[in-house]
């Protein structure tokens, strides 16, 4: 009996010692010198240029905005923008999946490159593993360049995972920004990554998410965001990290990838076929966009990846400023909602002067990451005591059929919240890649739009309130005995609803750990 207890303990201690020795000699890759920075401006002659002139006064600093509220709209609009690109596409993503929608968009980027469009793709390293062959194939095209932000020195196997342990501080500085800019005139930013579950095309799990399409000057600000990371010494050319295929073999594979996007497609969405269809579709979107004053805020890449991440970043400061100026109401929609003492102490005016703060996030049943739910659960009681109205999404929310265009996926699968937006007094909208959690505040690079438009703010506020309705969410509160209660259309429950014992146990045990900054 003693031996059974001691041997695993020795093994664990040996592993920790080995990891500690590795930590002593762990080093990141040396910084890259990308050479002179070339000026980048919007394209002077293109379809998007014509649309910009048609819908915006050139003397005005206003931009125009359109909400992409369903994954289908987000997928179709991105597809159309690729078809209409004349000179340049810059795409920056935390995740780009090698699945049906990810390969389709990659194939259309290859087709755009074939007609002379310069394509730049910037990806965070944390989710590149397993998709290298797709990106290496694309990089072989002379008009496509791909860079990877903050890669681990070891590219696969145990070494890659050990680097996460031995180089913990540096590896935790991630590029969570998400932008997609065409010809410097039109851009998309928001919460969505690239993949089936973000575009209403997954049969089991679909994310409720939201993007904003921007026409006008702020698309140029998105380009500035992209350039900051593209030129960072911590963004590495793909060919420096992976072996690229031989040109002849890569050419055949690229042609196959492009051809596959013109064959019968496995999507519930109907994507535009050719430039004429794409221009017609986008012209309708541009005509309905809302002009407003706005600013784009982004967190530049750290100069020193190993420097302490103990101060709020630009996007967090912008959020805090808006919170300070709120008069009546703050509505929060955040996939991962984690606020600790420092942030909650800064909200000590809740309940005073009639200020209402309501937030919706994932329940344990809908959260794709139990770890992240545990960080929220660790501070949930404190948020309630501070005066928050808290709501947690139900996995069977009927609103799924409003948010997800593929209704069959709602009947068979699960809906999970991935959107990130905050509405202030139904006048100002804060929207982008920023989760209201400690990781976005201190560690990640994020991109947000602050849009001062009552029309757009009301639209998002009404959608958030719809998600908070009893049929779509549980309202969490404290009863007279101080116990947590989940209330919805089905009545009350006194433990995490619609979750099995082991999932609840895992969340509870993880909530005992003070790791919420890294979730």
**Positive or negative, the Cα torsion across 34, 36, 37, 39?**
negative
Q: Give 385-408 as a DSSP string.
A: HHT-EEEEE-TT-TTHHHH-S-HH
Measured CA to CA in angstroms, residue 473 lies from 486, 491, 500 at distances of 9, 12, 18
**∠266-272-273 over CA atoms, to 5°?**
85
The CA distance from 419 to 372, in Å, is 15
Sign of CA dihedral 41, 44, 46, 52: positive
Tokens of residue 474, six digits: 């549980």
- Residue 503 burial (10 A CB sphere; 0-12, 13-18, 19+): middle
Residue 59 backbone phi and psi in degrees, to 5: -85, -10
Among 488, 458, 483, smallest CA distance to 472 is for: 488
Give the distance from CA 355 to its chain's centroid.
29
Greatest Cα pair distance in the chain: 81
Fill in the DSSP letter of residue 62. -
Question: Which positions are annotated as active-site residues?
Answer: 176, 178, 183, 418, 420, 425
| Nearest of 94, 116, 97, 122 to residue 238 by alpha carbon | 122
């Amino acid at each position: 009996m003693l031996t059974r207890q001691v041997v695993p303990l020795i093994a664990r201690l040996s592993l920790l010692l080995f990891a500690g020795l590795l930590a002593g000699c762990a080093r990141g890759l040396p910084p890259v010198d990308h050479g002179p920075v070339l000026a980048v401006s919007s394209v002077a002659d293109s379809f998007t240029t014509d649309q910009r002139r048609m819908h915006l006064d050139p003397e005005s600093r206003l931009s125009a905005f359109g909400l992409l509220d369903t994954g289908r709209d987000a997928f179709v609009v991105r597809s159309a923008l690729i078809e209409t690109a004349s000179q340049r596409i810059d795409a920056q993503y935390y995740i780009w999946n090698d699945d049906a929608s990810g390969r389709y968009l990659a194939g259309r980027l290859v087709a755009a490159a074939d007609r002379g469009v310069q394509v730049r793709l910037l990806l965070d390293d944390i989710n590149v593993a397993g998709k290298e062959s797709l990106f290496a194939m694309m990089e072989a095209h002379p008009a496509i360049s791909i860079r990877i932000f903050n890669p681990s020195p070891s590219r696969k196997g145990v070494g890659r995972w050990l680097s996460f342990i031995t180089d913990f501080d540096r590896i935790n500085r991630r590029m969570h920004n998400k932008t997609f800019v065409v010809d410097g005139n039109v851009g998309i930013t928001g919460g969505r990554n690239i993949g089936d579950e973000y575009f209403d095309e997954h049969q089991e799990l679909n994310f409720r998410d939201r993007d904003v399409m921007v026409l006008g000057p702020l698309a140029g600000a998105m380009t500035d965001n992209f350039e900051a990371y593209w030129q960072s010494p911590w963004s590495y050319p793909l060919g420096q990290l992976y072996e690229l295929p031989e040109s002849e073999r890569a050419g055949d594979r690229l042609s196959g990838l492009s051809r596959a996007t013109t064959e019968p497609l496995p999507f519930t969405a109907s994507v535009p076929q050719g430039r004429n269809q794409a221009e017609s579709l986008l012209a309708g979107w541009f005509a309905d966009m809302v002009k407003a004053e706005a600013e784009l805020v982004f967190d530049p890449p750290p100069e020193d990846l190993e420097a302490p991440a103990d101060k709020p970043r630009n996007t967090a400061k912008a959020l805090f400023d808006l919170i300070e100026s709120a008069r009546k109401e703050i509505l929060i929609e955040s996939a991962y909602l984690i606020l600790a003492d420092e942030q909650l102490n800064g909200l000590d005016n809740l309940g005073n002067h009639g200020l209402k703060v309501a937030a919706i996030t994932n329940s344990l049943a809908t959260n794709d990451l139990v770890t992240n739910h545990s960080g929220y659960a660790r501070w949930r009681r404190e948020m309630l005591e501070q005066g928050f109205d808290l709501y947690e999404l139900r996995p069977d929310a009927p609103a799924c059929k409003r948010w997800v265009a593929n209704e069959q996926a709602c009947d068979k699968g699960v809906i999970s919240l991935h959107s990130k937006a905050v509405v202030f007094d139904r006048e100002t909208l804060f929207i982008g890649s920023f989760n209201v959690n400690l990781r976005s505040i201190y560690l990640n690079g994020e991109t947000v739009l602050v849009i001062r438009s009552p029309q757009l703010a009301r639209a998002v506020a009404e959608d958030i309130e719809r998600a908070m309705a009893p049929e779509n969410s549980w309202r969490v509160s404290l009863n007279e005995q101080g116990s947590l209660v989940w209330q919805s259309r089905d009545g009350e429950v006194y433990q995490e609803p619609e979750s099995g014992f082991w999932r609840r146990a895992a969340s509870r045990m993880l909530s005992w750990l003070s790791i919420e900054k890294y979730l």
